[in-house]
Amino acid sequence: ESGVTRPKGYNVSFHCNPEMEKYHFGQNHPMKPWRLALSKSLIYSYGMSFAMDNYISRTATYEELAGFHSTDYLDFLGTVLPEPVPRDLESQNPDLRFNLGGSDCPLFEGLYDYCSMSAGTAMDAARKICSNQSDIAIAWGGGLHHAKKAEASGFCYINDIVLAILQLLRFYPRVLYIDIDVHHGDGVEEAFFSTDRVMTVSFHKYDPNNFFPGTGALEDNGPKNEHNPGSHHAFNVPLNDGITDEQYKWLFDRVIGDVVAKFRPGAIALQCGADSLAGDRLGRFNLQVQGHGACVEFCKEKNIPMILFGGGGYTPRNVARAWTYETSIAIEYNKKIDPTLPQHAPWRDHFRHDTLFPTLEQTLGEPRQNRNPQKRLQEIVQHVTEQLRFVQA
């Protein structure tokens, strides 16, 4: 009766853990797990659950987390307690163990459980892909791309993406990782730096001294030593403030089109960080829901099994819009979706505008100045083309 039907010929699964939405990083911290509740609520209000297999995922076990992370780090993560006194923002303790407890990666109540839930959703998604039960598996609670083997970084403690890709590698010879979060996907890039079985491609704002994490230059394509199998298997698309839907789509189609043709991945892991949208609290781009979603659509049309991860996204109403639209793309409902938000939603006022596709003026007031000349974008595409010549067909 919602009018949403299952896509013909293939399966979409939706993996979440409602417990995750209840955790707090602390007052004013940009990362707000309740954005997952807002997103799911919008997705379900559209009736999209009827077109997918919906799973409440289990938490990942210690042994599963140890598939990537060091046990020293996991042991510490499992025992640290929240600070009794809130730490002053500026007085960061310089000798934080494993980078835990600063303002970016605070210690909060239930931290370890929160991490195992995020990893659990991602690993469940990966297992559904490996068993051929899903063609697209959605894990909006995952996508925490900065976490390292033995270090927390940039709001990320456990790298659920790396854990999911390790699962995929048991069944697929080659996995393509794509990252459209506004930040560089450094943790995933580093984890698979020395293998030719995973190709990583991150699109991000790049300004080494002023924007986190500062890595991901165009010329960084993996180990410089030509004998290392990982060389030429990392791609970076460094961008400046204010990039538009049109430019981003052009770049994405050129870069990913060529990469897929050459690398021929058996599975795709797509990190859909929504902080690349216009109006994001931490972001710098002018992307709209349509442009962000076009990347998901482009990947879907390749007909390769795919996991969709969440990631960043610090203006919750826009995060919910993007992930709702992208869920509709997965179930092929995007062409029919009503751009007016469902009437019956209790949080409707929270969205400010009753549309799924607010204009740039509605989200920003004034769009950010675009500092991406077309000439630079052409250089990027040319560099990627040249690097791809080194990749074994």
Number of residues counted as binding ligand VJV (CB under 6 A): 19
Of 151 and 179, the one with the shorter C-beta distance to Ca ion is 179
CA 389, CA 393: separation in Å to the nearest integer?
A: 9
CA distance readout (Å), 91 to 87, 101, 103: 7, 12, 9
Using CB under 6 A, which of the segments 27-35, 75-83, 191-199, 245-253 binds ligand VJV? 27-35
Shortest approach of Ca ion to residue 239 CB, angstroms?
9
| Total residues belonging to the chain | 393
**The entry of Zn ion, Ca ion, ligand VJV, none that residue 204 binds, CB within 5 to 8 Å by partner kind:** Ca ion
Count the alpha carbons within 13 Å of 242 in the hemisphere toward its beta carbon.
9
Specify the pairing of strand 53-56 against strand 306-309: unpaired
Assess 204 for contact with Ca ion (CB under 5 A): yes
The number of angstroms, rounded, from the C-alpha of 314 to the middle of its chain's C-alpha atoms is: 13
Q: Is 292 in the site for Ca ion (CB under 5 A)?
A: no
Binding to ligand VJV by residue 181, rule CB under 6 A? yes
30 binds ligand VJV (CB under 6 A): yes
Residue 298 interacting partner from Ca ion, ligand VJV, Zn ion, none (CB closer than 5 to 8 Å by kind): none
Residue ranges in 295-314 that form contacts with Zn ion under rule CB under 5 A: 312
Residue 206 CA: distances (Å) to CA of 99, 105, 180, 241, 276 = 23, 22, 13, 9, 12
Stretch that binds Ca ion, among 196-204, 296-304, 309-317, 365-373 (CB under 5 A): 196-204
Residue 296's Cβ-count burial label (10 Å; 0-12, 13-18, 19+) is buried
> Min. distance of Cβ 203 from ligand VJV in angstroms?
12
We find the least distance from the C-beta atom of residue 181 to Zn ion, in angstroms, to be: 4
**In this structure, what is the dihedral angle of CA atoms 389, 267, 44, 363, given to the nearest 10 degrees?**
-10
Query: Judged by CB under 5 A, how many residues of this single chain contact Zn ion?
Result: 5
Binding mask 284-313 for ligand VJV (x = CB under 6 A): ---------------------------xx-
Q: Tokens for 27?
A: 């007052």
Q: Which residue, among 183, 167, 169, 179, has the nearest Cα to 259 in the 3D structure? A: 179
**Given 15, 69, 145, 146, which residue is catalytic?**
146
The CA distance from 386 to 393, in Å, is: 14
Distance between CA atoms of residues 143 and 160, nearest Å: 7
Residue 15 annotated to the active site: no
- Closer CB to Zn ion, residue 283 or residue 293? 283
Residue 274 as a binder of ligand VJV (CB under 6 A): the answer is no
Which stretches of the chain bind ligand VJV, using CB under 6 A? 28-30, 103-104, 144-146, 154-156, 181, 183, 212, 273, 275, 282, 311-312
Residues that bind Zn ion (CB under 5 A): 181, 183, 273, 275, 312
